[in-house]
Amino acid sequence: MRVFRRLTIRSRITIGTLVIAAIVAFAAVVTFRAQVDHIQNTTTTTLLHHDASPYVTRITSSAAPLIDKPGRGQLVAVITPSGIIAVSNLPKRLEGKLDSLARLDDDTHTITMADEEYAVYNETVSTTAGTWHVITARNQDSSIIALDQITHALMVGAVLGVIGFGLTSWILTALALRPVTRMRRQAKAILAEGSTEPLPVGPAMDELSALAVTLNEFIADVRQSVDRERQLVSDASHELRTPLAILMGQLELAHLSSGDAVALEAEITDAQRSVQRLSGLATGLLELSQLEQPAAAGGVTTSDWNQLAGELATSVDRARLAAAANGVTIDYDIDQVPTEARYRVAPTNFGRVILNLANNASTAVPDGGWVRIALRHSPVGLALTVVDSGPGMPEEFIPVAFDRFSRADESRAKNSGGSGLGLAIVHAIVDAAGGSISLVNANGLSVTVTMPAV
């Protein structure tokens, strides 16, 4: 079995076809031979009955029947009630066994004499004078020879048929697998040359075409993943360059201010802020990378309504601590009617969504402003809305708001040197949960997140 698995698909299909063809051919030869043998036996029995019929008719129609000599090609023996052989042209070997032949039942029997085989039929005729026996025989040598020749011809034909079937299978398999060969060559070209051409899809709507379509989708997904990684590296390099340059300048200034304690402390404080910004940027990049994995952003874990409601309350409490410095008020409202539905998001990831949206909103609104968060039931599942009293978001920025490292103008970033990853993280979590998110300017910014029930 291991050797068979190491063979090519073409070889395995051909070998399997040959085995099946050989079994079918052998069964056909055996069946056909049996049919021919049955036909020969039936014909012989009919001839034996036909040879005996004239004698039986004469014996039953006359008290003293006239027994004629058998015709040409007939082997007949007639035994009178007194045991006298009225007529016989049986071979001497059979004549010597007439007594035993006369005791045979009324059926066809095969008698083998030396190298000859005979079919013998004994018909018993009862009359007023006694019991007559009409024995007929047929030499089976010619039938046996004919059957052997037919069997030989069938075997030769079966062997040739199996060989032809195997060659046909080999050729047809090669033709059927030709698209696979083309796909393999194209895949090698993609690997060796970085080609962007898709794999060839045949015109037939068969399994190979379906395979090519699936592989093209897989290749496209891999390319998109690679492009995302390249873009992430490029964006990260661009974003890290500026804070690193600033940090380097701050450290140089701190070195120059080594003799002035007050100036040195100020430079160190500025450097700490730069380090915090770099740390936040690295943390955001790590979170986003993890969330973009297939099972990371709540794609497997599910939560019920009570879990998500509890996470909302906890996240709002954390957001209030950051907003208190600017006098921003954050309120929330939750539907008090829980359901049995579950949602494809982990509580911790749902908390990330709320915290990021709340922090963005509290950063954008003026001092003394407010942010209102509501969790409601919706026809498709749940709806989370975050509304603030800020100046809103530029309309031209809304289409790219969820891109990594994208930032709005200063109207929504008065105190923030944000990394531009918050909304990207929110979008990744919501997308993994099968939901949607929208941004609308309406006397401030209104963010609506919907997540369907599982």
- Mean pLDDT calculated for residue range 188-204: 69
On the question of pLDDT at 189 being above 80, the answer is no
pLDDT digits (tens, 9 = 90+) for 230-284: 766 666 665 566 667 767 777 777 777 766 777 777 777 777 776 766 666 666 6
Q: How far is CA 18 from the centre of its chain?
A: 27
On the question of pLDDT at 299 being above 50, the answer is no
CB 413 within 8 A of CB 401: no
Looking up tokens 């990371």, which residue turns up? Answer: 296
Residues 157 and 55 both lie in one domain: yes
Of 23-27, 70-74, 298-302, 436-440, where does mean pLDDT reach its minimum? 298-302
- For the chain, give me the number of helices (H) and strands (E)? 11, 12
Most confident of 208-222, 293-307, 390-404: 390-404
- Mean pLDDT calculated for residue range 40-68: 87
Residues 253 and 323 both lie in one domain: no
Q: How far is CA 416 from the centre of its chain?
A: 51
Instruction: Read off the tokens for 223.
Output: 């390319």
CB 52 within 8 A of CB 78: no
Q: 3-class DSSP state for residue 249? A: helix
Identify the pLDDT of residue 285.
Answer: 63
Q: Does some domain include residue 333?
A: yes
CB 102 within 8 A of CB 121: no
- Mean pLDDT calculated for residue range 89-117: 86
Residues 414 and 299 both lie in one domain: yes
- Domain count of the chain? 3
On the question of pLDDT at 156 being above 80, the answer is yes
**Which residue, 245, 275, 291, sits at the end of a domain?**
291
CB 373 within 8 A of CB 356: no
CB 306 within 8 A of CB 348: no
Residue type, 180: V
Residues 139 and 18 both lie in one domain: yes
Confidence of residue 122 (pLDDT cuts 50, 70, 90): very high
Residues 328 and 270 both lie in one domain: no
Rounded distance, CA 147 to CA 84, Å? Answer: 38
Rounded distance, CA 95 to CA 79, Å? Answer: 11
Confidence of residue 298 (pLDDT cuts 50, 70, 90): very low
Rounded distance, CA 46 to CA 59, Å? Answer: 20
Identify the pLDDT of residue 213.
Answer: 82
Dihedral, 441, 442, 443, 444 alpha carbons, nearest 10: -40
Residues 326 and 348 both lie in one domain: yes
Confidence of residue 216 (pLDDT cuts 50, 70, 90): confident
Count CB-CB contacts under 10 A for residue 369: 20
**What range defines the domain where residue 230 resides?**
186-291
On the question of pLDDT at 417 being above 80, the answer is no
**Which residue, 229, 262, 291, sits at the end of a domain?**
291
Residues 312 and 379 both lie in one domain: yes
Identify the pLDDT of residue 67.
Answer: 80
Q: Which helix (H) or strand (E) holds 108?
A: strand 108-113
- Mean pLDDT calculated for residue range 377-385: 89
Identify the pLDDT of residue 177.
Answer: 78
Q: Does some domain include residue 176?
A: no
**Which residue, 274, 291, 308, sits at the end of a domain?**
291
Identify the pLDDT of residue 237.
Answer: 64
On the question of pLDDT at 286 being above 70, the answer is no
Residue type, 29: V
Q: Does some domain include residue 181?
A: no
- Mean pLDDT calculated for residue range 69-88: 88
Identify the pLDDT of residue 106.
Answer: 82
Q: Does some domain include residue 158?
A: yes
Instruction: Read off the tokens for 90.
Output: 């049986």
Q: Please, what is the average pLDDT of the chain?
A: 82
Residues 297 and 441 both lie in one domain: yes
On the question of pLDDT at 414 being above 50, the answer is no
Instruction: Read off the tokens for 93.
Output: 């070997």
Q: Domain containing 117 — which CATH number? A: 3.30.450
Identify the pLDDT of residue 149.
Answer: 93
Q: Helices 305-323 and 347-364 sit at what angle, rounded to 10 degrees?
A: 30
Residues 276 and 297 both lie in one domain: no
Of 67-71, 201-205, 210-214, where does mean pLDDT reach its minimum? 201-205
Q: 3-class DSSP state for residue 116? A: strand
Confidence of residue 37 (pLDDT cuts 50, 70, 90): very high
- Mean pLDDT calculated for residue range 112-133: 88
DSSP state of 410: G
Closest CA to 362 of 401, 413, 315: 413
On the question of pLDDT at 171 being above 70, the answer is yes
Burial class (CB in 10 A: 0-12, 13-18, 19+), 439: middle
Identify the pLDDT of residue 297.
Answer: 42
- Mean pLDDT calculated for residue range 365-372: 89
Identify the pLDDT of residue 241.
Answer: 65
Closest CA to 141 of 114, 123, 160, 121: 114
